[in-house]
Amino acid sequence: MPLEERWPRPAVMGVLNVTPDSFSDGGRFLSPADAIEHGRGLVAEGAAIVDVGGESTRPGAEPVSAEEELERVEPVLEGLRGLPVSIDTSKAEVARRALELGAELVNDVTALRGDDSLAAVVAEHGAYLCLMHTQGEPRTMQADPSYDDVVFDVLAFLEERLAVAVDSGVAEERVCLDPGIGFGKTPDQNLELVRRLDELLVLGRPLVVGLSRKSTLGRVLGDPAATQGTLSASLGAAVAAFERGAWMFRVHDVRESVEALAVAAAVERGRVSA
Ligand code: HH2
């Protein structure tokens, strides 16, 4: 089934970080029982899919081994069996185990550049795949981001990575693309990407955006040292991205995001119900 049918727009992807160091919720769901309860709650609040991640990708984060990542995510995936789940990983070994445990989508922030074996694992399982743009590695990506034109550069990158995925046997109808807000971009570059998000629609694939609580939102509200954005700023950003064609929204605050996007979608339709 094409991704657009599996998760109709606007689809909310709830974040479930099983990490000690994620920038907005690190350490909160390290115990499997807490993480499972939180994940179930996200679905109850209207998440179309829960994105389980065992490695932080925030600026400055240190990489973790596949063993450590698996140790964090396996019990959580077991506890969420039967619910729609994605695995936020760039490692083939972690993705394989997650797909065996029922995950449907692999969310790879390296867009298949982190592990040569990942594309084959996705293809073999007929899984869905999210390819995200980033410039540089998490440890250093905010040091000096530079682009000719951030939107053109991101577009060219995603086009190339989509071709790589398809050449590796991943069905194009199962791929979604993400400009990677906050990944090797200045606040102004992030805003430019959202402003011109519709230009990425030429790629013909659903667009995922992760703006939730990101520091650019705090900068907009006047704090030059902000490391996080607020809930209300996140909702404003999600609606702005929706109006420019975004399909899936990776968020921490599911209920509020579902409600905000339901209204944005109703306005787009000009009708209460679909
Ligand atoms: N952002 C983060 C992590 N994964 N995946 C996609 N597709 N798009 C994103 O924008 C994105 C992502 C970073 O946010 P968070 O999960 O809150 O922090 P951390 O990476 O530290 O876990």
pLDDT tens digit sequence for 200-247: 999 999 999 999 999 999 999 999 999 999 999 999 999 999 999 999
* Residue 178 bridge partners (DSSP): 132
Is residue 252 pLDDT above 90, yes or no? Answer: yes
86 pLDDT band, cuts 50/70/90, is very high
- Whether 23 lines ligand 1, by a CB cut-off of 6 Å, is yes
Q: Is 185 a catalytic residue?
A: no
Q: Quick one: pLDDT at residue 24?
A: 64
Is the bond preceding 10 in cis, omega lying within 30 degrees of 0? yes
CA of 186 to the centre of ligand 1 (A): 16
Residue 190, C-beta contacts closer than 8 angstroms, at least 6 positions apart? 181, 182, 211, 214, 216
**Which ligand 1 atom sits nearest the alpha carbon of residue 57?**
20
Instruction: Compute the Cα dihedral for 85, 136, 198, 255 and give only its sign.
Output: positive
List, for residues 127-177, the tens digit of each pLDDT value: 999 999 999 877 777 778 889 999 999 999 999 999 999 999 999 999 999
Q: Quick one: pLDDT at residue 26?
A: 63
List, for residues 36-82, the tens digit of each pLDDT value: 999 999 999 999 999 999 999 877 788 899 999 999 999 999 999 99
Tokens 């109703």 sit on residue: 266
Tokens 């577009």 sit on residue: 155
**Which ligand 1 atom sits nearest the alpha carbon of residue 182?**
10
pTM of the model as a whole? 0.96
Q: Quick one: pLDDT at residue 20?
A: 82
- Whether 58 lines ligand 1, by a CB cut-off of 6 Å, is yes
Closest among 123, 134, 183, 179 to 155, alpha carbons compared:
179
Q: Is 250 a catalytic residue?
A: yes
Q: Quick one: pLDDT at residue 21?
A: 67
CA of 274 to the centre of ligand 1 (A): 30
Q: Quick one: pLDDT at residue 244?
A: 98
Mutate to test the pocket of ligand 1, among 109, 133, 158, 247 (most ligand atoms within 8 A of CB): 109
